[in-house]
Amino acid sequence: MADRRLLAWPHRHDRKMLEHMSSGTFTFLNETRDLGVSVGQVAETSRDRLTDGNSTQVPLKLNWHPEAPRLWRFHLHYHEALLELASLVSVDAAWAIIDSWLSNPKNQTPHSDPDAWHPFCISQRLPIWLMLASQYGVPDGLRKRFFQSVLAQVQWLWTHLEWDLGGNHLLENLRALAIANMALEGDLPLDARRLSKWIDIELKKQVLPSGEHFERTPTYHAIMTLAVMEIADAVDGSVAAGDLAEKSCSAANRMREFHGTILHPDGQIPLLGDSVFGETPHVGEVAETSQLKSSELSSSSATFEPDYWTWWSDNRKDFLLFDVGAVACDHLPAHGHADLFGLEASIGGERFLVDTGTYDYDDSPERQASRSTLSHNTLAIDGEDQCDVWSRFRMGRRGHVLWKRAGKSETSRWCMAAHDAYRFLGIGETIRTAIVIDDSSLETTWLIVDWFTGPGHHDLISTLQLEPNWKATIQTSGEVICENAELEPQPRIRMLTEGELSIEPGVYCPDFGVALPNESIVAAAIRFEREPVAWQICPGGCELNLSIRLSNNELIVESVDDKGEILRVPILS
Q: pLDDT per residue over 13-25, tens digit each?
A: 999 999 999 999 9
Q: Which CATH class is domain 302-570?
A: mainly beta
pLDDT at 402: 97
Query: Is the pLDDT confidence value at 54 over 90?
Result: no
pLDDT at 297: 45
pLDDT at 238: 87
Confidence of residue 572 (pLDDT cuts 50, 70, 90): confident
Angle at 410 between CA 409 and CA 413, to 5 degrees: 45
pLDDT at 55: 55
Q: How far apart are CA 11 and CA 277, in angstroms?
A: 10
Angle at 45 between CA 64 and CA 151, to 5 degrees: 50
pLDDT at 58: 61
Q: pLDDT per residue over 318-341, tens digit each?
A: 999 999 999 999 999 999 999 999
- The 3-class secondary structure across 89-106, one letter per residue, is CCHHHHHHHHHHHHHCHH
Confidence of residue 532 (pLDDT cuts 50, 70, 90): very high
Mean pLDDT of 287-299: 52
Contact indicator for 360, 71 with CB cutoff of 8 Å: yes
Residue ranges per domain, the chain?
Answer: 1-114, 202-297, 302-570
Exposure string of 67-92, with b = 16+ CB inside 10 Å and e = fewer, is ebbebbbbbbbbbbbbbbbbbebbbb
pTM reported for the whole predicted model: 0.94
Q: Which of 49, 43, 42 is nearest to 140 (CA)?
A: 49
DSSP 236: T
Q: Which of 196, 174, 201, 204 is nearest to 245 (CA)?
A: 196
Contact indicator for 226, 235 with CB cutoff of 8 Å: no
